[in-house]
Amino acid sequence: MTISTGDTLPDADLLKMGDSGPETVSLAALTKGRKVVIFAVPGAYTPTCSSAHVPSFIRTKAEFDAKGVDEIICISVNDPFVVNAWGDATGASGAGITMLGDAEGTFTKAIGMDFDAPPAGLIGRSKRYAMAVEDGRVTVLHVEDNPGTCEATAGESLLAAI
């Protein structure tokens, strides 16, 4: 099943780095009674993800805040150590973007956003998407046709749609 506008997100345990190491984070708990933005990338440190997608949400963070968005979450099918280091390297963590790892791709598969690109060495990764979620329900969903582009899923595009 591929997630669609109007659907409720399945609960999933994602990972983030805490003071004592990896910590489990319930996506249901993060979205319950809240307005959040979730965007996903094919991989930490990959070119488009690092040079376009993450920076677009850093640039628009204050505008999302002004629209009542409680949190911006970036999900990558990577381990929490890599996602944490990447959040620091891109400035996303410092900008207040929550960086979460879907290490086994469980959430990504559950919402039908997984894909493989063997020539690029990407196996079991996430399609590039951005969504607005209110109380666990998807209100806006943008998905790129090509994982190497960041247009429909850029922060500016999602911001204009909410």
pLDDT tens-digit profile of 138-149? 999 999 998 889
CA-to-CA distance for 58 and 107, rounded, in angstroms?
Answer: 24
Predicted TM-score of the model (pTM): 0.96
Q: Give percent of the chain above pLDDT 90.
A: 91
Amino acid at 120: A
Q: Which residues are catalytic?
A: 49
* Domain ranges across the chain: 13-161
For the chain of 162 residues, list the mean pLDDT of each consecutive stretch of 10.
Answer: 94 95 96 98 93 97 98 97 97 98 96 91 92 98 93 98 96
Terminal alpha carbon distance of the chain: 24
Answer yes or no: CATH 3.40.50.10240 is held by domain 13-161: no
Tell me: the pLDDT tens digits for 80-107? 999 999 999 999 999 999 999 999 999 9
Count other C-beta atoms under 10 Å from residue 153's C-beta: 24
